[in-house]
């Protein structure tokens, strides 16, 4: 089981710090993707925030059939 999966399981069990750790682990890459796609720092920051808000709300839908990072980038 990957460390992302362990953190996600902890978050789903109620550990909010595990979500913070997941976010810190992936936020630079999500922001970088947003910046490349949107071309604007402020828009990329907003998109990053929206992405992690969606992950927070829909984490229970992650099936584990792919890596967490793969699922995250599809959000």
Q: Tell me the pLDDT tens digit for each residue of 24-59.
A: 999 999 999 999 999 999 999 999 999 999 999 999
Structural Rg of the chain based on CA atoms? 12
* Overall number of domains in the chain: 1
Indicate whether 75 pLDDT > 90. Answer: no
1 confidence band (pLDDT: 50, 70, 90): low
DSSP tally for the chain: helices H, then strands E: 4, 0
Rounded distance, CA 5 to CA 28, Å? 19
Q: Is residue 2 pLDDT above 80, yes or no?
A: no
Report the CATH number that the domain containing residue 62 is assigned in CATH. Answer: 1.10.1740.10
User: Range of 65's domain?
Assistant: 3-74
Backbone angles phi, psi at 64, to 5 degrees: 85, 5
């Amino acid at each position: 089981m990957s460390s992302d999966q362990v953190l996600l399981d902890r978050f789903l069990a109620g550990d909010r710090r595990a979500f913070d750790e997941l976010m810190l682990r992936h936020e630079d890459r999500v922001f970088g993707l947003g910046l490349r796609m949107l071309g604007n720092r402020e828009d990329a920051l907003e998109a990053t925030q929206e992405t992690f808000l969606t992950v927070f709300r829909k984490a229970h839908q992650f099936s584990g059939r792919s890596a967490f990072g793969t699922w995250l980038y599809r959000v």
